[in-house]
């Protein structure tokens, strides 16, 4: 973890339905999150049709959609070994592709979501998810992506893409997911 991450204020929010998320965004942005969520839910159906839907795992879950990344996405998920947050050679190759795409799309900001399987405590998995998201963020910055375009959130074990109690299922849940937002100007 770099010094900027140590200086970041880590804010954990208990969101609707008991879902936990931990974000490395600054406190003012995190404090505004509940108000923003309430404002979104107050829009009319016509307004919702005109606004692009958020693609975060939490928003997908709330809509009843899959929290997995679409297969045709330019930003592919990266996966981790059990109880690890170091990047594999395969993850590094995937992140190199993501960095190239981000360089071609400079107005796009990305939120990196850290996810875990359901083994371990909620607190442990939130911390592990944060380390996984930060590992990807740090690597992307070494590849030339501006740090200000990247934010991280940990969902720990809360948003699973597979719920079977098997190693192949747990492997699918140990991931970083990338959510692009081109509606905000990049840095």
Indicate which CATH number applies to the domain containing 133: 3.30.1330.60
Cross-sheet strand order for the sheet of 150-156: 11-15, 19-23, 150-156, 109-115, 175-181, 78-79
Residue 23 lies inside a defined structural domain of this protein: no
> 142 in a domain, yes or no?
yes
**Stronger pLDDT, 69 or 181, i.e. the higher one:** 181
On the question of pLDDT at 163 being above 80, the answer is yes
Task: Inform me whether the pLDDT recorded for 31 exceeds 50.
Answer: no
Q: What is the DSSP letter of 114?
A: E
pLDDT score for 182: 73
The Cα 21–Cα 12 span in angstroms is 6
User: Is 6 a member of any domain?
Assistant: no
Q: Is 34 a domain residue? A: no
Number of domains within the chain = 1
Residue 11 lies in a domain: no
Q: Bridge partners of 179?
A: 111
- Compute the half-sphere exposure of residue 50: CA atoms within 13 Å on the CB side of its CA: 5
Q: What are phi and psi of 159, to 5 degrees?
A: -120, 95
The pTM of the full predicted model, rounded to 2 decimals, is 0.68
Q: Specify which residues 125 forms β-bridges with.
A: none
Assign 2 a pLDDT band (cuts: 50, 70, 90).
very low
Residue 63 belongs to what H/E stretch? helix 57-63
pLDDT of 119 reads 95
Is 154 a domain residue?
Answer: yes
**Residue 20 belongs to a domain:** no
Token pair 């100007």: residue: 185
Q: How confident is the model at residue 127 (pLDDT cuts 50, 70, 90)?
A: very high
Q: Which single residue is written with the structure tokens 């509606």?
A: 183
- Over the chain, what is the mean pLDDT? 75
Pairing verdict, β 175-181 and 78-79: antiparallel
In a domain, 14, yes or no: no
- Domain housing 104: 53-181
């Amino acid at each position: 973890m770099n010094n900027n991450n140590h200086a970041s204020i880590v804010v954990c929010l208990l969101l609707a339905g008991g879902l936990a998320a931990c974000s490395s965004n600054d406190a003012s942005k995190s404090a505004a999150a509940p108000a923003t969520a309430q404002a979104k839910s107050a829009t009319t159906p016509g307004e919702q049709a005109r606004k692009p839907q958020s693609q975060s795992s939490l928003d997908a879950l709330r809509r009843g959609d899959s929290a997995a990344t679409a297969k045709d996405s330019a930003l592919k998920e990266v996966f981790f070994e059990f109880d690890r947050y170091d990047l594999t050679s395969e993850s590094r190759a995937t992140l190199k592709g993501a960095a190239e795409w981000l360089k071609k799309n400079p107005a796009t900001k990305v939120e990196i979501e850290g996810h875990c399987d359901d083994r371990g405590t909620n607190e442990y998995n939130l911390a592990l998810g944060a380390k996984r998201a930060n590992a990807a963020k740090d690597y992307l910055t070494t590849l030339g992506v501006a740090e200000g375009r990247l934010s991280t959130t940990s969902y720990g074990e809360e948003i699973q893409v597979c719920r079977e109690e098997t190693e192949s299922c747990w492997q699918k849940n140990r991931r970083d997911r990338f959510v692009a937002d081109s509606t905000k100007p990049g840095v």
